[in-house]
Amino acid sequence: MISGLVSEKKQKKKNLLLAAALELFLSKGSDSTSIDDIVRKAGVAKGTFYLYFHDRGEILKAIMAERSDYLLRMASEKAELQNPSSATERLLFIVEALVDEFARHPVLLGLMYRNLTWGILLSSETVKDVGILGERGQDALCPSADFDKMAFVIMELVTSVCYSSIILGEPAGIEVMKPFLLSSIRRLLVDEDKIRSMGQNR
């Protein structure tokens, strides 16, 4: 456990930097946060920043990865607590939790919007076991081949709609857009074959 403590100590300054950067990115946006700001807030020397990160983009990426991972886990756990009756239900609960979190923390949303592409996160191992679409296979929400694409499309949709709605108020407030978003997702998950047959009717 000593080595654990050592490496913990070794990472202390790095963690100070990460914490400071997160706080500043959230309050001022990443574009207007200088490395000077970060080290001043972290209480470390300028050079220490470059000991751990190559540039501002790198610390942003690190923070985005950590935040989105955390966000997804948190939403997943919240959904589980509501005993979803189906995979669809579960997904909708997850989305709802995400929307609520974004509504509570618009700055976080602003930060994640277009600094984050879910593509990378969703294909990462850590998130695979969380899952947002339930198990692949029999009970899956969509054909296995489309699994990744669907997860990805849904997450991009959620972020885009939240951003526009919560931050810009366009085309309507989040209280109006949320139900619409949820029903949109429900529609997305409808079995494709059934859609095609229904499409014929029009």
Closest distance to its own copies from the beta carbon of 121 (Å): 10
Integer Cα distance of 68 and 132 in angstroms: 13
Closest distance to its own copies from the beta carbon of 66 (Å): 19
Closest distance to its own copies from the beta carbon of 142 (Å): 10
Contacts of 99 (CB under 8 A, 6+ apart): 158, 162, 174, 178, 181
Nearest residue (CB) to DNA, 38 versus 87:
38
Integer Cα distance of 151 and 135 in angstroms: 12
Please choose, out of 11-19, 86-94, 127-135, 149-157, the segment that lies near DNA by the rule CB under 7 A.
11-19
Integer Cα distance of 199 and 202 in angstroms: 6
Q: Does 36 bind DNA (CB under 7 A)?
A: yes
Residue 11, sorted as left (phi over 0), alpha (psi -120 to 50) or beta, turns out to be alpha
Closest distance to DNA from the beta carbon of 30 (Å): 10
Q: Does 49 bind DNA (CB under 7 A)?
A: yes
- Strand-pairing partners, residue 113, are 116
What, of DNA, its own copies, none, does residue 105 touch, CB below 5 to 8 Å by kind? none
Contacts with its own copies, residue ranges (CB under 8 A): 86-88, 113-114, 117-120, 122-123, 146, 148-150, 152-153, 156-157, 159-161, 163-164, 168, 170-172, 176-177, 180-181, 183-184, 186-192, 194-196, 198-199, 202
Nearest residue (CB) to its own copies, 106 versus 119:
119
Q: 112 φ, ψ to 5°?
A: -75, -30
What, of DNA, its own copies, none, does residue 119 touch, CB below 5 to 8 Å by kind? its own copies
Contacts of 107 (CB under 8 A, 6+ apart): 26, 27
Contacts of 167 (CB under 8 A, 6+ apart): 106, 109, 110, 113
What, of its own copies, DNA, none, does residue 46 touch, CB below 5 to 8 Å by kind? DNA
Closest distance to its own copies from the beta carbon of 57 (Å): 12
